[in-house]
Amino acid sequence: MTEVRAGVDAVDQAIVDFLALRFGYMEAAARIKPGRGAVRDEARKADVLAKVDAAADEAGLDRKLIASLYEQLIEASIAYEFEVFDRTRG
């Protein structure tokens, strides 16, 4: 069990590191987008969800679970991007 927990801990650290990287891209997007109205992009959200759905299917993961996690992640990313946009350009 110790090895399993160590593996889970390592994966959790990698996930946090990747989230930091993803949110760094949200900061960049907030600086690049031409206006606040461009922050929420439903077409892009649908594209990301479709790609994630395909990746989850390929990996043999529960697609509904992954879709739910990514829905939350995307909405949190959008909220963060709005926050950065307002703080730096609003």
Q: Mind listing the pLDDT tens digit for each residue in 11-20?
A: 999 999 999 9
* 2-89: CATH topology: Chorismate Mutase Domain, subunit A (1.20.59)
Predicted confidence (pLDDT) at residue 30 exceeds the cutoff of 90: yes
CB 26 within 8 A of CB 81: yes
The predicted pLDDT at position 74 comes to 98
- State the pTM of this model: 0.93
> Which two three-digit tokens encode residue 44?
């892009």
Tokens of 86: 């307002």
Give the 3-state secondary structure of residue 38.
helix
